[in-house]
A and B are shown apart, each in its own frame.
Chain A
């Protein structure tokens, strides 16, 4: 498990089309020690095993450092303690609960499109993919919409810190931003205790109060959940929107399918999640000496199950390089799996469904502005800028 030519650590540098690299890894070194000393897993079977067995491959604070001073909840807490938090949080993010929010998100999406529809062009990343999930998040948690810019600065500050973000120095680089995030949510929690309302933060504060013998979440636990939400809920949907619209701009036949057969949208979203895998990998740490695919991994070593590679593994997906909006079955792992299955997956699906439906209803034809060089970001797959041009819709 040594050399794989052309390996790119997406934690350090983004790439436009990672699928050929996933294939090369799977075929040559499916358990690969990267130059950054991370063990990269690229076979679906190994990835699935690692995601399920949290007692071997933990998601605790040693796996990734985002400047936080306590474990992020629930990501950095493993079973069995983890179950307590998911029992409180899962009901707030079910498909049904998200459907309740769908009309509000539809309105929001249309307001955003209104701002550029008559212009015949937009920076899709800047004007749509970034503000949409962030605004939805503020509404969901019941936070003031004028805090949008502050949030964007903070999430970039911890996900893509400027300066030294090697693993060893990562904490120092992110810690000052993390401190601001803790302080902000301290005040938000005070405010929600004083005046509860119909939002996720109020629901978390009151969770378990009604159940006999159950403990409410402590202030620190609430803070550690809010911190994680900020990291997990904003960037990931931006990444998905960027990846999807680049794909659809470049593949008009696929785009036309969405316009001619709107019912195909839910399976199309699953297929785009599979193919693009906007969150290309997750972080784990080995809890004991263990062997995967005949390769020894030592206790304490960092392990990266590459979700994008799992999603293009021919062992599970026939013709994995074909993007088929009718693909069935499609057991993709874009939201991970096992106990840490993405808590916000149904929120993400709802946002993506509304965004793709409304955008294509109003702007069915668009292309990337000629001459544009797309730059994919590290860590999570967004693009720095996505200029689209389109005919101005006539009434």
Chain B
């Protein structure tokens, strides 16, 4: 399983992760990102990777 982390101090609300991977990430009321599924594998992991790689602030970390 891979764990998904968001550094709330780095996130500024670009919204790329929850747009590209809405089954892993969601938005809070100001449009900043929150993690919906903390531990991912298989297809969800691929989606989490897309979110992580497209974050302009590099606020998302995936760890084994």
Contacts and interface: CB of A to CB of B under 8 A. Distances in A.
Interface of A: 86-87, 90-91, 93-96, 266, 328-333, 335, 337-339, 341, 345-346
Closest 10 CB pairs of A and B: A94-B31, A329-B53, A90-B30, A341-B12, A329-B54, A331-B56, A95-B15, A91-B30, A337-B56, A90-B31
B14 interface: yes
B50 A95 contact: no
Contacts of A346: 15, 31
B54 A331 contact: yes
B31 A337 contact: no
7 contacts: A91-B30, A95-B15, A95-B19, A328-B53, A331-B16, A332-B56, A341-B12
A266 B22 CA distance: 14
A95 B14 CA distance: 9
Contact of A333 (B13, B32, B50, B56): B56
Given A332-B56, A337-B56, 15 more contacts: A90-B13, A91-B31, A94-B31, A95-B18, A95-B19, A329-B50, A331-B54, A335-B14, A337-B14, A337-B57, A339-B12, A341-B12, A341-B14, A346-B15, A346-B31
Query: Which of A91, A329, A332, A341 gathers most chain B CB within 10 Å?
Result: A329
Interface residues of B, number: 18
Classify the interface of chain A: helix, strand, loop or mixed. Answer: helix
Contacts of B29: 91, 94
B27 interface: yes
A7 B40 CA distance: 48
B37 interface: no
B31 A95 contact: yes
B55 interface: yes
Given A86-B30, A87-B30, A94-B27, A331 B13 contact: no
B15 A338 contact: no
Contacts of A95: 15, 18-19, 27, 31
Contacts of B31: 90-91, 93-96, 346
Interface string B34-64: 0000000000000000100111110000000
A75 to B, nearest CB: 14
Interface in B1-27: 12-16, 18-19, 27
A338 B10 CA distance: 8
Contact of B15 (A91, A94, A339): A94
Nearest to B49: A329
A346 B55 CA distance: 15
Contacts of A91: 29-31
A117 B50 CA distance: 39
A94 B57 contact: no
Contacts of B18: 95
Nearest to B54: A329
B26 to A, nearest CB: 10
B18 to A, nearest CB: 8
B49 to A, nearest CB: 9
Contacts of A338: 12, 57
B13 to A, nearest CB: 6
A94 B19 CA distance: 11
Contacts of B56: 331-333, 337, 341
A346 B57 CA distance: 16
Contacts of A332: 56
